């Protein structure tokens, strides 16, 4: 699943905004969470954490003022989570700790 996330090249898609990314990936994430989360949800946590980390790298590439500033990116993403916690299905599940 992590290889699938890497293969899709999210971190390089600076032409997309966060809502577009959510629209593209929520179906995939919901499927993984529904299938693998039912039987072995603790094994799914590293995959979802990796997706959040990929979002952080995407934001550092998308916004120049956040480049190489992981703490600022984490604060930026936390604001987005507070503003719209249902944007990504994994945030509904509580997988926002990697953004801190």
Average pLDDT over the chain, rounded to an integer: 85
Per-residue pLDDT of 4-44, as tens digits, reads 878 887 888 888 899 999 999 999 989 888 888 788 878 88
Kindly report each contact of residues 17-20 with a partner whose C-beta sits within 8 Å and lies 24 or more positions away, as own/partner: 18/55, 18/80, 18/87, 19/87
């Amino acid at each position: 699943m992590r290889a699938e996330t890497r293969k899709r090249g999210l971190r390089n898609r600076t032409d997309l905004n966060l809502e577009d990314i959510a629209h593209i990936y929520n179906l995939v994430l919901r499927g993984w969470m529904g299938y693998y989360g039912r039987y072995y949800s603790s094994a799914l946590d590293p995959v979802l954490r990796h997706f959040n980390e990929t979002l952080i790298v995407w934001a550092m590439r998308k916004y120049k003022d956040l480049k190489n500033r992981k703490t600022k990116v984490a604060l930026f993403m936390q604001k987005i989570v507070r503003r719209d916690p249902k944007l990504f299905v994994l945030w509904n599940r509580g997988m926002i700790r990697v953004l801190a």
